[in-house]
Structure 1
Amino acid sequence: MWPWEHAAVGYLAYSLFCHTYYRESPGGLDAFAVLFASVLPDLIDKPLAYQFGVFETGYALGHSIFFAVPFAIFTGVLARQLGYSRAGLAFAIGYLLHLPGDFVPHYFRGTERFHVVLWPIADQPDAGHSHGLYDFTMGYFVDYWAALTTGDPPTYLLIQTGVVAFTLLLWLYDGAPVLRECLAAVGDTIESLSR
């Protein structure tokens, strides 16, 4: 999955949970937590692999189920202790949904990639991205746009793009959390400065 798809899946799952369990939309802090956590495995592994050469591939520590589960539990417990239970839950949902997001779509396309969440006990293929993080990131956008704008884009890509579009509409329905809080803070700042 591309990073924006991870963010969409994480937000979609958390928002649906909020509407079902809490009977309300996500708040700004928990929306930020789920969005940040949903891309955090890539923020950990991709720079360490493609920019600094710590790992041979972008699927290592951050994507490992052996790190992800204890990390999500620790973050949830810490958030609860600090009085931010919903943000801790949102973080865990976003982080843990990233992992299947990296192998489930490949399974439906006929390629098995479960090993990407088994670092360090499973061998990870060398992705061959030795040109640095910037080139790797730009490759994401170029590949995505090229696949989307072909005369006949793959079905999986249309489905993933549809999920992103639906999630964007859901986010707007939810009142655009995070953006809403940022705009309110700017408005409060302007109001206090004008007094």
Structure 2
Amino acid sequence: MWPWEHAIVGYLAYSLFCHLVFRRSPTGLEAFAAVFASVLPDIIDKPLAWEYGVFQTGYALGHSIFFAVPLSIAVGVLAHWAGRGSAGVAFGLGYLLHLPSDVLDGYVREGQAHPELMLWPLETVTEHDHGQGFTDQFWLLFTRYQQDLLAGDLSTYMWIQLGLAGFVGLLWLYDGAPVLREPLYWVGHRLRGLLSGRTTRDDRTR
């Protein structure tokens, strides 16, 4: 599954969880935690495999359930200790959803499920040498996706992906554009403070 697809799934899952359980929209920190965690397995494994050759494939430590579960628990405990328990939940949900999403994606695309993607080091996927560094490989995949999109040569699966991306974009706006709204709110608050202070000084000089 593409990194941006993982980000879409991560945000969608946590936003729905937030509305169902907390009866509110995600905060900026929660949204960031969910999206960041949803792509973190690829951030860990892909460069180490494609760029540095630490792993034979891009599905290793970061994609292993034996690493993902302890990491999610540790982050959750630390977040709870820091008074940010909901952000810890967002991180765990985003990270843990990445693993089965890759398995499901393989089944949808190829008709075969590969649960071994989640079982490193007990099981590993077939060795696949990309022959390129992480950055080159990423842009190759992105360019291929972009070319298919511009040419209108889209499969049913890709149309579903685009529809899901559009829906999540609207959901993000409905949620109040978390992550973006916080700096905008801060800037607006500062501007109001400056204008208020200037108005007060002008009144005093009259």
Q: TM-score, normalised by structure 1?
A: 0.92
Structure label with greater radius of gyration:
2
Unaligned residue ranges in structure 2 (runs of 5+): 198-206
Shift in Å, 1:44: 0.6
Contact (CA 8 Å) 1:29, 1:87: kept in 2 or not? yes
Shift in Å, 1:86: 0.5
Contact (CA 8 Å) 2:60, 2:124: kept in 1 or not? no
How many Å separate the matches in 2 of 1:128 and 1:191?
56
Please report the RMSD computed on the Cα atoms of aligned residues, expressed in angstroms: 1.7
How many Å separate the matches in 2 of 1:62 and 1:44?
6
Q: How many residues get paired?
A: 195
Q: 1:144 to 1:124 in 2, by over 3 A?
A: same
How many Å separate the matches in 1 of 2:194 and 2:129?
53
What is the match of residue 70 of structure 1? 70
Q: Cα deviations across residues 115-152 of structure 1 (Å, max 9, x unaligned)?
A: 11111111222232221011111022122223334554
Structure 1 stretch displaced more, 162-171 or 107-116: 107-116
How many Å separate the matches in 2 of 1:88 and 1:186?
27
What is the match of residue 134 of structure 2? 133
Letter in 2 for 1:161: L
Unaligned residue ranges in structure 1 (runs of 5+): none
State yes or no: 1:54 paired with 2:54. Answer: yes
Letter in 2 for 1:119: W
Provide the identity percentage.
57
Q: 1:100 to 1:190 in 2, by over 3 A?
A: same
Shift in Å, 1:114: 1.6
Q: TM-score, normalised by structure 2?
A: 0.88
Shift in Å, 1:18: 0.8
Structure 1 segments (4+ residues) deviating >3 Å: 146-152, 186-195
Q: 1:171 to 1:151 in 2, by over 3 A?
A: closer
